[in-house]
Structure 1
Amino acid sequence: MRRMYLILNGKSSQRDDVRAAVAHVREQGYQLEVRVTYDADDAARFARDAVCREADERPDVIVAGGGDGTLNQVVAAAIEADAGTRCAFALLPLGTANDFAAGLDIPVDPQAALVLAASGTPRKIDIGRINDRVFVNVASGGTVTRITREADPRAKRLLGGAAYLIAGASRIGELTPTRASFSADGFSWEGQFLAMAIGNGRLAGGGVPLCPEAKVDDGRLDLMLFPQPEADHVLSLLSSLLREPDGDLQGYATRASFTSLRVDAEEELSLNLDGEPMSASRLDVKVEPGALRFVSRA
């Protein structure tokens, strides 16, 4: 039976369905150790503790219980502490959007997700790095990212993806483009853009396929770059970026697939790495193929 180590976001620790799922897995005979986060750096601290244990105490699977941000914190800290960790990882999706879970067909029902973590077969997936910061799903940047990052957390809980659209539409006058140059394997582009997405996974922003052709296990990352559109198309692009899972994003976007990418911007870019903020004017992006063993159905 697997030894499992659940790092549970404190905001979800009192949910009855989460408690019932933990009890169910333990009743099946699995060892499940639970650590509940309280402070902002707890998830990272718990992850470092898990991967650095002696072999006979190290968990077989570390489960991130929370949203994409919690998963990012857990994976990034674990890899930083032990790049060659023998622990596998899994996700108990408890966030607002759960984009990474949706992309890998991980159930949102807590019991089903924990049973999958306990019994599913780990497979190797890629991770991305930007200036040595790890991301697992999607990194996005540009003015749209800055504005949506500032969306009211209460609105996000109540309205989901619609909150991002409302935040962007209400501040459309602030959607000033950023000028930057992009250079990757056989690809170069320079100009003004409103948004960019670098995808290991396909979905972000509540189910929007920002990087529809990205695959977590192909040894590459996908760039979707959204140049500054004509003035009367800005709201349409914004709507497609933030609210329409079936929107034709590729009609607005320039796409590239790469193993390494360099971005030089005239000013600092606001970035969102799986929900974790970052700012920089120069980005060195690369993929690390098969760096993570992850339990999923897809």
Structure 2
Amino acid sequence: MRKRARIIYNPTSGKEMFKRALPDVLIKLEKAGYETSAYATERSGDATKEAERALEQEYDLLIVAGGDGTLNEVVNGIAEQPNRPKLGIIPMGTVNDFGRALHLPSNIMKAVDVIVNGHTTQVDIGKMNSRYFINLAAGGKLTEVSYETPSKLKSIVGPFAYYIKGFEMLPQMKAVDIRIEYDEEVFQGEALLFLLGLTNSMAGFEKLVPDAKLDDGYFTLIIVEKANLAELGHIMTLASRGEHTKHPKVIYKKAKSVSISSFANMQLNVDGEYGGKLPGNFLNLERHIEVFTPNDIHNEELTQSEDVNTK
């Protein structure tokens, strides 16, 4: 019996390039033995609902064509279910952090080749309260950049739009009192922002988590303590080179579960989208979804038995 694949795609991502390539994608998947159909999202939440329907109809494979936001929605549609299908990813967003972390090709047909070749990897996802994420959860004014950056600016200048918006928001940065419990440790004090990462790539910074592992069951927790503008600018410069982890204002830890609370009105960023406000309870779900990856994905970003170093 032929396997069945369902493509869920954002027709506006990537300057509508996927919509134009869809006939060729369908032909390639059909030749590879998949009976394939496609669904175009129209509004926020559509990808989650369609992923849930695809599970009910017992598709063997879900293919997501879009940015990290579309992928996040699909993961939220399948994460609770025991019969989760394999996920194929065709990165079509502005930054594509998750696709970068998996070393997926930016070329549409080459990304389809990765799926057709059939090599898969089980990766961690995060759970925040009742919501799931695949790349990043964060809080603090600077982390609002991704969902406050105008879509038109992103379409014109691409990932550089985030840097433009980020530097614009620097003067608004303000430290707040926050309590962060992670595994057996506690941070309580003033912080500018926190990040909980599952991969090495966040908002285009591919060295923000230089020791990232995609399947070890641990978040990377980064806390930036109260700092002045000059110190914060220095931290951002170091982050572009992966050298921020030793800065005295940066706490860099590994944790399986994290609980964060504050009396401040701190908004949350979940995979680049608005994720509500604190408090938040975060849990790493180890090797929870299976995704198609290149055969030559770098081993240093995947581990099944290595010890996790903390400092």
| TM-score scaled by length of structure 1 | 0.89
Aligned residue among 52, 58, 62 for 2:56? 52
- Answering whether residue 44 of structure 2 is matched by residue 40 of structure 1, we say yes
Trace 1:130-149 onto structure 2 (pairs within 5 A): 130-149=128-147
Structure 2 equivalent of residue 84 of structure 1: 82
Where 2:192 maps in the other structure, the secondary structure is strand
Q: Compute the TM-score of the two structures, normalised by the length of structure 2.
A: 0.85
Tell me which residue corresponds to 2:93.
Answer: 95
d(CA) in 1 for partners of 2:243, 2:46: 39
**Pairs aligned (count):** 289
Kindly state the Cα deviation for residue 19 of structure 1 after the two structures are TM-superposed: 3.9
Question: Which ranges of structure 2 fall in alignment gaps of 5 or more residues?
Answer: 298-311
Q: Is the 8 A contact 2:265 2:278 kept in 1?
A: yes
Q: Which 10-residue stretch deviates more, 205-214 or 215-224? A: 205-214
Query: In the alignment, is the contact (CA less than 8 A) between 1:210 and 1:224 conserved in 2?
Result: no
User: Superposed, which structure 2 residues align to 1:145-184 within 5 Å?
Assistant: 145-184=143-182
Q: How does 1:200-279 map to 2 (within 5 A)?
A: 200-239=198-237, 244=240, 246-252=241-247, 253-279=250-276
Q: Tell me: CA distance 1:89–1:212, structure 2 relative to 1, closer, same or farther (3 Å).
A: same
Q: 1:210 to 1:238 in 2, by over 3 A?
A: same
Matched residues in 2 for 1:291 and 1:148: separation?
26
**Is 1:4 matched with 2:1?**
no
Task: Return the offset for 1:291.
Answer: 1.6
> Structure 1 residue 293 and structure 2 residue 287: aligned?
no
Uncovered stretches (5+) of structure 1, i.e. residues with no partner = none
Closer, same or farther in 2 for the Cα pair 1:111/1:213, shift >3 Å? same
Which aligned segments of 4 or more residues in structure 1 are displaced greater than 6 angstroms? Answer: none
CA change 1:172–1:125 in 2 (3 A) is: closer
How far 1:211 sits from its partner (Å)?
2.4
- In structure 1, what is the Cα distance between the partners aligned to 2:220 and 2:67? 22
Matched residue SS, 2:70:
helix
Give the letter for the 1:78 counterpart: I
Letter in 2 for 1:77: G
Q: 1:140 to 1:214 in 2, by over 3 A?
A: same
Amino acid at match of 2:115: A
1:7-31 residue CA offsets vs partner (Å, 9 max, x unmatched)? 0112145543444333333234422
Partner of 1:68: 68
